Structure 1
Amino acid sequence: MDSDGFNGVVERLLSAADGTEDETAAVLGDLDGDVVARAVLGEIAARAALFEGATAPVTVQFDVGTPDGRLDYLVTVGDGPARCERGRLREPWVLVRQDLTDLLRSVYGPAGAVQGGTLEVTVRDEDPPGSTGEFGYEDRHQAVRAAHQLTKACSARPVDLDLLAVRFRSDKWGGHWYTPHYERHFGARRDQRVKLLEIGVGGYHAPDVGGASLLMWKHYFRRGLVYGLDVFDKSALDEPRKLTVRGDQSDPEFLNALAKRIGPLDIVIDDGSHRSSDVITSFRTLFPHLRPGGLYVIEDLQTSYWPGWNGGRTHPDDAGTSVGHLKTVVDGLHHMERPGEPSATDRTVTAIHLYPGVAFVEKGINSDRPAPAWIRRDVDPAVWMADPSALSTEEK
């Protein structure tokens, strides 16, 4: 199954995990149990690296119950990437037994829901044949750490965004200080099934380099689908819930087609070329594809002042620069007080939050009312407030 097809299955599983236990089970009844189990255990294996666990490799036996019988899988964790495969050990150090419906809901279900009722975790007490003394004791200690690592990976406990940025080497913490701002605006959404598009994968020409922020977002939004857009082919970085697309952010036709195919979108992050013309084109094209309540983020606004990056114009309010364009968005935010017909963007921008180097633009319905008509716009308020009799009755 190709990446798009597998992610289609994962998207269906994310939706199924939102329902009641019976509703989840009904959806799983129409799917191949092995495909579902591999998807869920693959997610667990990917999350396992986020938690402190075994330092030496430990292979954990998963016994997954389905309506058609039990399926056996081996998940190996330790100091390095975890892996998952079909198989059974005769005497595993750790045995995890759980019904597939319960396992799916534990991994992909909403936080706070009561799940895990069928979970059994067994760590063997006795040493395996051939081990003696301290060696066997250390093996069991590693097995306990592996069991803890995987059970945490199965849960909905949030992982700090700063930690994720450092773990995956994203420059959003350390290179910049963006993650506190992201936490402020994304925190309430992290348990939702968001669709996120980030422009700019990183790594330039190297096909298997970059994607640090995409990994960060995948694990921050444990129920989200994450897409990365880059001018270079980054398909080697694709994995469940994280896909890359090759394309140019300066091409409105391409951006429209992409957004129609993967959208509607909940979050767009522009961390691409940082050229003002590209930033403006991307915003104008993709903002209409955001869901109501969505967020559009533009990073590295400092380039708006750099001539070599299509910025640094002669006037700081030049609408051809990224920051200058955002100033026009601020004007549109107050369209009810300005002459002329408001644009679609004017009507749907509800807030703008600016921090050093990064802006967050919220989408919704901008229906704020203008000030009362009796307030004179053309008279200094100090004049008429000091002497209201200076106004006619009709003007009061």
Structure 2
Amino acid sequence: MSSLYELGIKHGTDKTIISATHKKSYLHIYERLFASLSQYEEIRILEIGVRGGNSVNMWLERFPNAIVVAIDICECDFKVFDESRYIFYRADQRDTDLLKEIGLRHKAYDIIIDDGSHIIEDYIESFYALYPYLRRNGFYVIEDLYNNYSEWNTTRTTRPNGNGTAFNEFQNFLTKQVHLGRAFDYTDSHLNIFSIHQYPGLMIVMKDLV
């Protein structure tokens, strides 16, 4: 079976871009983390921000047991690898009521990826709307987090993220949930966060271990 990176190159997704320091792409990280999902009869992947469908076709080919639910602010017209396993919604991720409706309609998900606006307020609100629909042992991914920092954004006026303070507050809150989970039972909470993983450009939140 081809690796995610090989399929990413084949389908032309920008998730193949290599980290300047660590010489790994997002797909090298995902290959290690998501490999365990191949054992399931069916998995569900939700991705916000699919543009030309490059990553959609990569997911569909890599996981022949997957249903991919895609959300984008623009209408996406592209040839789908397997239309029987693909569901598309044209939606603005700022419409959290619609996100919750979509989440509930197809619950629950093994992987949720936010590759949408990359605006801090948007992905925080999207996280709170969709994380409750993540399965135990699932992965919630927020991509391209270098957009949070002023060093990157000095010439990118379309990314009004300031110096990243709002992101720091968000991740500090999530970290608090992880550690308080040692002392308090958050099983029935809408978050129930088990772990947070930081990688170059992305953050992955999990509900539990496999």
Deviation at 1:287? 0.2
Larger of the two Rg values belongs to structure: 1
3-state DSSP class of the match of 1:257? helix
String of CA shifts for 1:8-33, please: whole Å, max 9, x gaps. xxxxxxxxxxxxxxxxxxxxxxxxxx
Given candidates 132, 157, 182, the residue that maps to 1:288 is 132
String of CA shifts for 1:356-384, please: whole Å, max 9, x gaps. 1011110139xxxxxxxxxxxxxxxxxxx
3-state DSSP class of the match of 1:250? coil
Given candidates 168, 192, 207, the residue that maps to 2:11 is 168
Q: Aligned partners of 1:181, 1:345: CA distance in 2, in Å?
A: 27
TM-score of the pair, normalised by structure 1? 0.46
Asked if 1:194 is matched to 2:38, the reply is no
Q: Do the aligned partners of 2:11 and 2:57 also contact (CA within 8 Å) in 1?
A: yes
Q: Aligned partners of 2:170, 2:190: CA distance in 1, in Å?
A: 12
Deviation at 1:304? 1.2
String of CA shifts for 1:41-76, please: whole Å, max 9, x gaps. xxxxxxxxxxxxxxxxxxxxxxxxxxxxxxxxxxxx
Give 1:264's aligned amino acid.
A
String of CA shifts for 1:249-280, please: whole Å, max 9, x gaps. 11110001111112211110000110101110
Q: Aligned partners of 2:205, 2:181: CA distance in 1, in Å?
A: 18
Q: Aligned partners of 1:332, 1:253: CA distance in 2, in Å?
A: 24
Q: Do the aligned partners of 2:194 and 2:208 also contact (CA within 8 Å) in 1?
A: yes
Q: Report the equivalent of 1:105.
A: none
Q: Aligned partners of 1:342, 1:331: CA distance in 2, in Å?
A: 15
Deviation at 1:160? 1.2
Gaps of 5+ in 1: 1-157, 203-209, 366-396
Deviation at 1:342? 10
Asked if 1:312 is matched to 2:162, the reply is yes
Q: Aligned partners of 1:227, 1:349: CA distance in 2, in Å?
A: 23
Q: Do the aligned partners of 2:112 and 2:140 also contact (CA within 8 Å) in 1?
A: yes
Identify if the C-alpha distance between structure 1 residues 304 and 246 changes in structure 2 by more than 3 Å, giving closer, same or farther.
same
Deviation at 1:343? 9.0
Asked if 1:256 is matched to 2:100, the reply is yes
Q: Do the aligned partners of 1:354 and 1:360 also contact (CA within 8 Å) in 2?
A: yes
Given candidates 82, 90, 94, the residue that maps to 1:246 is 90
String of CA shifts for 1:206-234, please: whole Å, max 9, x gaps. xxxx0100100011111110111001112
Q: Do the aligned partners of 2:53 and 2:78 also contact (CA within 8 Å) in 1?
A: no
Give 1:364's aligned amino acid.
D
Identify if the C-alpha distance between structure 1 residues 294 and 336 changes in structure 2 by more than 3 Å, giving closer, same or farther.
closer
Given candidates 175, 182, 199, the residue that maps to 1:330 is 175
String of CA shifts for 1:183-213, please: whole Å, max 9, x gaps. 11101112421110000011xxxxxxx0100
Q: Do the aligned partners of 1:234 and 1:245 also contact (CA within 8 Å) in 2?
A: no
Gaps of 5+ in 2: 20-24
Identify if the C-alpha distance between structure 1 residues 303 and 338 changes in structure 2 by more than 3 Å, giving closer, same or farther.
farther
3-state DSSP class of the match of 2:141? strand
Q: Aligned partners of 1:234, 1:278: CA distance in 2, in Å?
A: 20
Q: Report the equivalent of 1:279.
A: 123
> C-alpha root-mean-square deviation of aligned residues, in Å?
2.4
3-state DSSP class of the match of 1:226? strand
Equivalenced residues, count: 194
Q: Do the aligned partners of 1:191 and 1:222 also contact (CA within 8 Å) in 2?
A: no
TM-score of the pair, normalised by structure 2? 0.83
Q: Report the equivalent of 1:232.
A: 74
Asked if 1:178 is matched to 2:26, the reply is yes
Give 1:194's aligned amino acid.
I
Deviation at 1:298? 0.6
Give 1:305's aligned amino acid.
Y
Q: How does 1:129-140 map to 2 (within 5 A)?
A: none
Deviation at 1:345? 4.9
Q: Aligned partners of 2:162, 2:36: CA distance in 1, in Å?
A: 36
